[in-house]
Structure 1
Amino acid sequence: MHFIFSRWIICSIQLILIIYRIRQISAAEGKTKIFTINPDEKDAKLQGFTYRSFDHISPRACFKECISRQRCFSFNYNKVHFTCEINLKPDSVSLVYFPNVIGYIYVVIQHYRGNPLFDPCIENPCITDEVCKSLKNNKTVCVKDGFNIPHKTPSNVALRKYTQQISTAGSDLAASKAVDGLTNTWSRTNLELLPYLWVDLGTIYNIIRIEIINRNDYGYRLHDLDITVGLHLDHMSMCAHYIGPGTNGEHLIFQCKGWYIESRFVKMTIIKGSEYLQFGEIKVFGYEIIR
């Protein structure tokens, strides 16, 4: 009886905290008389270009975090978990960067820049590395963002770099085929338990995103894939996991949870069953770290 009562107390406290959190976020939404945004995409998010994230904030607060930064092109907002991801401008506008994720909205901030109803920084525009902050006297100031991002577009730093795989099914299926810049060639291992392929980027990079183009046939072989990154092959960290199975020629995009990850090696491993590990192309986008 005492155990049941204790569980009831714990559940009641958790419910009160959830209600309090929702009311806080609702209150934040009510601080402006006019605030209406039209999502550019519903139940979808831009993948591979997020450079900052925020937890437990309202949609309006997410909007403000984006519009106050000149480098922010758009944002993803999760209405279920109250999370915000602000994005750099994509290299190109492509549907391949928009996975369907229930609960998200995607908003391009450019629609609202220069509009006094939404943009607090019209009178005091900030430079790329600054954030526009509103003061209590309704004036604005520009402060350092504190998140250093190179201005240039990230490049594919895996192109024609040194690669190895657990085995090779033939001379025309070598690991190097996965980074040769061509999608009509491919790498392939023999049938192996825990097959892997790794790429040595040659130096340390800030990894922005990893893209995989699946082979144009037998695409279903790509499944249960661990993508790990690290400074040394004997000390790798999880970046992303792909359940699959893949489809022929599929273009997959992954972003490590920590976003800008310092790494030299990228490794792909199928962790479930015996399989042929194969790739049409592996692309790793990042910036070289200058020490």
Structure 2
Amino acid sequence: MRLSIYQGLFLICKFLPTSAEQCTSETFRINPDKRDVKLQGFTYRTFEKISPRACFQKCIRRKRCHSYNYNRASLRCELNLNSICVSDGNFHNDIGYIYVEMDHYRGDPLFDPCVGNQCAEGEVCESLQNRKVVCLKDDCKIPKEELKNVAPGKTSGQSSVYGNAIAAMALDGLLSTHQHTNEEKFPYWWVDLGNMHNIMRIEIINALKPGYGNRLHNLDISVGPCLDDLSLFAHFKGPGISEQHLVFERRQYTDGRYVKLTIKGHTALHVSMVHVFAYPIC
């Protein structure tokens, strides 16, 4: 029996899903927004050895997925957050990648299986046999390897500098050094981890100089994809004491690229060391 054009295209998409960056059937067609380019710094989930169509489905089923990078050679799928701080500078040339945004397809019943049942930020919509969809918790398996401190050597900054106690001194691994801001309202310190990480634990070693540890109080520790898009990871009421080793940990990871410490009051922010323990993106 002779196959129709649509049936033939469907079979091509089904049995040769990795043959091209664009695949067409009766109801599926994507056109990359950028070719040989990827968005860096905002990937929060990765999937290996999957087809272009499967990568599209992984993204559109997740409300928090704004776009994805897909590599045709390695079959690697990278889901990106919808961050307010994405700019042209975050796109980098990388041969073999395509970049696709979901805004063109979300809400269109030809492409979006979750129309009429949009899931929450931390959920993924899964299709049932009766074509209905349910919202399930979108979680990835915690890696078996040990947590790593991903902060050393990364770019950092602070609201002001007292003397020569710059922000990087909280990441140099030396207890004999420290970062130090001026006395001011809402002093802060931050570190850019360079890419999204699954952050599990943040440790702070307070200033070692006797009599200054109580400056650390009413401290907000925030995590997020950029400095303008942070959420509270932990709060330390304090006051702290000199040389105090503070540990803030969650059972469930929080994905983020930036970690920021802010004292809500008028004082100086003065800590000896900051560790950010995290897993690679999953």
Q: Which has the higher strand share?
A: 2
Q: Which has the higher helix share?
A: 1
TM-score if structure 2 supplies the norm length?
A: 0.49
TM-score if structure 1 supplies the norm length?
A: 0.48
